[in-house]
Amino acid sequence: MKLHAQRILLADGWKTDQTLTIENGVITAINTGVDHTAESVGTVIPGMVNCHSHAFQRAFAGFSEQGSEGQDSFWTWRKIMYKFLGQLTVEQAQLIATQLYIEMLKMGYTRVAEFHYLHHAPDGSNYPELAAMSRALFEAGKNSGIGLTLLPVLYRFSGFGPLPANDGQKRFINSVEQFNQLVTDCIALSNDYSNTNVGIAPHSLRAVDLESLSAAVEHVRTYDTKAPVHIHIAEQQKEVNDCLAHYGKRPVQWLLDNMTLDQHWCLIHATHINETERQGIATSGAIAGICPTTEANLGDGVFPTTEYLAEQGTFAIGSDSHISVNPIEELRWLEYAQRLTRQQRAVLANSEELSVGRNLWQRAALGGAQSTNTNVGELTVGKQADLLVLDQNQLSLFAHSEQHLLDSLVFATQSNAIDKVMVNGQWVITDGKHSEEESVSQAFAKLLAKLSA
């Protein structure tokens, strides 16, 4: 197919009057001028990658905002979440993920890294198919059309010590041997689904030890030396304190000292880090997976983005608990948190790119591609055709020269400004809608009524 863009953000900057040739989902040529056989669109930018998702938590959004006399925290939220997920079936999990992935596509995410730890039946027993829940996520990806990087989670313990898992975690727990078999099964499953790949996610340092962490990484890397490895790290101060008490080191420092981090590792949150740890992440080439709306919702804290980017650190964004499913909002609050803590404006621009919006969008898209080990993140020959067509009516209401367009998109638009979405060379959103969104949303609404009854 051919696509003519009146204005497009390519890897080397804004261009006008460009025709893309797309074959087998990949951009094979970009030429200046109109090809009358091409479909014509307005303004095009790269699709965004969501580096961190717990799909089932989409159904939990709004259930945990009741106060308890100032005593609420991440840890009280987690107890409510455990109780909620104890009732979910495989079919329900697939429906929730399908609803979520359609919402992601409509808002501009074209790929998602699914940090998947809901493995077993409600009583903790194995399903007849060990990867039944994983298959449900692959099906949700297929039915929605989003690109999917599945990250089965290794969860062994409830805390440093190691402490035995608690009752709320029984659906997560695997031995190392069973987890490695699950990963093998997921890799085999991914061969049946297009635009998918598999990595792993050791849940956190409180949930794994050095032996199990090393074994899991070694196993997945026998299949793919570039397989993504994601881990929650230093999200809460309590986690840092517990790690110091157990290991005598802060979490990121322990990880840097005990594992060989590279560009295929993604450290999720890394909220509570010191200067040495921050520099260590940047130097290692690992990605910081930042989830601003969830980190704000859970009271986690603020990642030191300004200093990290000055050290040439790589970052990606994620919607995590899906209190918001909107890359624009994640980037907006990534910048706003820095403005609030530093009492400055336009903090995350630099001398090479004065536009905060463009700087953040392009960096996050490329960082997301790296975090999933996928051929996306920018629009150039040889890259997968994951792209967004912006709504000209929305754009016309704000500053929309090339200099200001992505600033207006990130900081000024008040409603969805995405008109069309292409994933792997296929339109999945047209006129702001998904072909299955009505039937899926109706089924999802019925499910929420049942879960909240």
DSSP at 100 = H
- Say how far apart CA 275 and CA 87 lie, in whole Å: 42
Could you please report the per-residue DSSP string of 39-97?
A: EEEEEEEEPEEEEEE-GGGGGGTTSS----TT---HHHHHHHHHHHHTT--HHHHHHHH
Q: Which two tokens stand for residue 33?
A: 């001028």
Query: Could you confirm whether 269 is annotated as catalytic?
Result: yes
Q: Which of 126, 120, 60 is nearest to 89 (CA)?
A: 120
Of 185, 242, 300, 320, which residue is the catalytic one?
320
Beta strands in 138-264 (DSSP E): 147-154, 196-198, 201-202, 229-233
Tell me the C-alpha distance between 63 and 163, whole Å: 28
Other Cβ atoms less than 10 A from the Cβ of 399: the count is 11
Strands 426-429 and 418-423 turn out to be antiparallel
DSSP category for residue 289: E
Q: Helices in 343-436 by DSSP H: which ranges?
A: 356-372, 392-395, 405-411
Q: Which of 52, 116, 120, 269 is catalytic?
A: 269
Give the Cα separation of 100 and 323 in Å (integer): 11
Report residue 8: phi and psi, to 5°.
-150, 140
Let me know if 320 is a catalytic residue: yes
- Find all residues with CB under 8 Å of 395, minimum gap 6, and list them: 43, 405, 408, 409, 417
CB 198 within 8 A of CB 153: no
Residues with Cβ within 8 Å of 115's Cβ and at least 6 positions away in sequence, in order, are 52, 53, 54, 151, 153, 201, 230, 268
Catalytic residues: 269, 320
